[in-house]
Amino acid sequence: METNPVLDNLPRHLMSLVIDQPYNEYTPQDHALWRYVMRQNVRYLGKVAHGAYLDGLHKTGISIETIPSMYGMNRILRDIGWAAVAVDGFVPPSAFMAFQAYNVLVIAADIRPIDQIGYTPAPDIIHEAAGHAPIIADPVYADFLRRFGEIGSKAFLSPQDYELYEAIRHLSIVKADPYSNQESIDEAEKRLTDISGNMGEPSELARIRNLHWWTVEYGLIGDLDSPKIYGAGLLSSIAESYLCLQPSVKKIPLTIDAANYNYDITEPQPQLFVTPDFESLNRVLDEFTDTMALQRGGVYGLRQAIRSGNTGTAVFSSGLEVSGTFTGVFEKTGVPVYLKTAGPSNLNYNGKELPGHDRNYHAHGFGSPVGGIKNLSVPLEDFSEEELDQIGLTKGEPVNLEFESGVFVTGKVISKTICDGHLVLLSISECTVSYEGQTLFEPGWGTFDMAVGKSIDSVFSGPADPDSFGLNYPAPLEKTHKIQHNEKAVKLHALYQQVRDIREQNCSFAMLPSLWQELERDYPDDWLCALEMLELLKEKQIEDQLTTAISRFLVSKKAENPSLSKLIDDGFAMLI
């Protein structure tokens, strides 16, 4: 993998999802498909896309003629502070956001089959490299994309969200395989419908994923009556980039309400959202962030963490970060007074694990009171070390703390952990913790590590220190299908290569009649290779029987298969 400074900073927990780009597996037909889409994009999107798109194609070094290599892309992306990695299809939503937070584009290495040239529900290199990469050359948009990744990676998901991701991934894999039978496609679509219809209350991740869809993927920009395209899903779909601007698609001013609109990846979108400019995207994102546990903290945030059933982090007002699987919270008048995790947990400060407080030490979970101490007007975390000694919090001395909530902590101080002048942790031996008649900790359980903090200021998904916590995104068990082309398809690909060789070498035009004869005889359903032959003849201004025969063949394809009509007409338009 061609490295650059951005990739050098990518954390190891994301590297398990990175694959080598299987560049040698792209067929000549794949390259022809890429070339057709990109030439259409330059011709059409130059008129309807945001001005940053064509500029970005140049800045990011995206080739029009051939599928881009990650090696070349990373050399050029380095200049705008980004990088790209190849992945195997859809990756988990949290991981996708995390890559984005590190200024890394994840590029699905596969390319859509020719029967999905206009639109595919699967992520592919056209969508990622031709859709996402060019627009990030705009610095305001690139900053929005990075911030979206930072925030989205901390959104809580529900157990149903992961099931939905797996169902979407499976459907995309099946539909992207040109040799899949209809029964397997129908089964995958039914599974997705069943899961999406039983999601329950939308999670934070579900809502921010919606917002991502209606901005990063399917966003429009500018005037409501005549907007431009900037969303990567539209930029990479030669079918939907046309349909989306038609009056039949409702245009709605972008607000935070877009997060409440679900979407169907298998169908054209009935409505789209229009932002006046890229700066406004950040304002909507900020407004959404204010609704998240990340900003709200408190009981709301802890409940989101408990519901998720996955690793989360609670940040005390002292700055102490507790990471683990949250299982319970005692509350009083809507304020948390005691929190609990189960299973391996760790304690952190400023994103780094505190020495001695790793997952092995807190293997059975962590619990601590939250709140102010009774009769103390200043939060405990704000006391200086001298002031702590004055109130009896001295190493080796007994401690008897009564919280304003009614939690009692008694025992003997072993140590105090102070970070940046703030007390963040008290370690207490012979400790008893009680609340409203319940014993929450007993002396026989060992040392009680009491988090210090008047409040829980933030709660977010994932561990505070991913590497120390051992976070890992395992590679998906179900891989995208490696297409095994039959002998007939291999011969067709050889025809595509011969046509490409003639164009690139500007010679051997005398071979075209025999190549056309073979194509018409053996591959009467193929239209793209015929179009490339016609292009060569037109460029050489050859108007003979062969030119007429190929033109009539393509017109007949339109009549036989109306779904090809616009594709062929657009191909003709490029020859004028």
Do 249 and 225 touch, CB atoms closer than 8 A? no
- Six-digit token pair at 56? 């970005």
**Cβ contacts of 422 within 8 Å, gap of 6 or more:** 318, 319, 381, 382, 452
Task: State how far the Cα of 509 lies from the Cα of 61, in Å rounded to an integer.
Answer: 30
Residue 234 parent element (H or E): helix 232-235
Nearest to 116 by CA among 245, 240, 244: 240
* Class of residue 453 by CB neighbours under 10 A (exposed 0-12, middle 13-18, buried 19+): buried
**Cβ contacts of 187 within 8 Å, gap of 6 or more:** none
Q: Centre a 10 Å sphere on the Cβ of residue 490 and count the other Cβ atoms it contains.
A: 10
Do 133 and 106 touch, CB atoms closer than 8 A? no
pLDDT of residue 57: 83
Torsion of CA 184, 185, 188, 193, to 10 degrees: -140
Nearest to 127 by CA among 106, 143, 155: 106
Quick one: how far is CA 261 from the chain centroid? 18
Q: At what angle do helices 528-539 and 565-575 cross, to 10 degrees?
A: 20
Mean pLDDT of successive 10-residue segments in the chain (576 residues)?
77 90 93 94 90 85 87 82 89 91 90 85 81 89 96 93 88 86 92 87 93 96 96 89 93 97 85 97 97 98 96 98 98 97 98 97 98 94 91 93 97 96 96 96 97 98 96 86 89 97 90 95 96 93 89 95 93 88
Phi–psi pair at 393, nearest 5 degrees: -90, 75
Task: State how far the Cα of 140 lies from the Cα of 39, in Å rounded to an integer.
Answer: 27
The residue type at 95: A
Q: What is the DSSP string of 27-72?
A: -HHHHHHHHHHHHHIIIIIHHHB-THHHHHHHHTT--SSSPPPHHH
Alpha helices in 246-297 (DSSP H): 278-289, 293-296
pLDDT of residue 1: 55
Alpha helices in 82-197 (DSSP H): 93-101, 125, 133-135, 139-152, 159-176, 182-196
Nearest to 225 by CA among 251, 264, 199, 204: 251
Task: State how far the Cα of 139 lies from the Cα of 278, in Å rounded to an integer.
Answer: 10
What are 63-78's pLDDT values in tens digits?
Answer: 899 998 888 888 888 8
Place of tokens 């650059």: 4
Q: At what angle do helices 93-101 and 204-212 cross, to 10 degrees?
A: 60
CA angle 381, 384, 385 (to 5 degrees): 105
Task: State how far the Cα of 459 lies from the Cα of 322, in Å rounded to an integer.
Answer: 9
Length of the chain: 576
Q: What is the DSSP string of 429-483?
A: EEEEEEETTEEEE-GGG--EEEE--SSEEEEEES-SSHHHHT---PPPSSPPP--
Task: State how far the Cα of 522 lies from the Cα of 313, in Å rounded to an integer.
Answer: 61
Task: State how far the Cα of 121 lies from the Cα of 109, in Å rounded to an integer.
Answer: 15
pLDDT of residue 3: 66
pLDDT of residue 513: 94
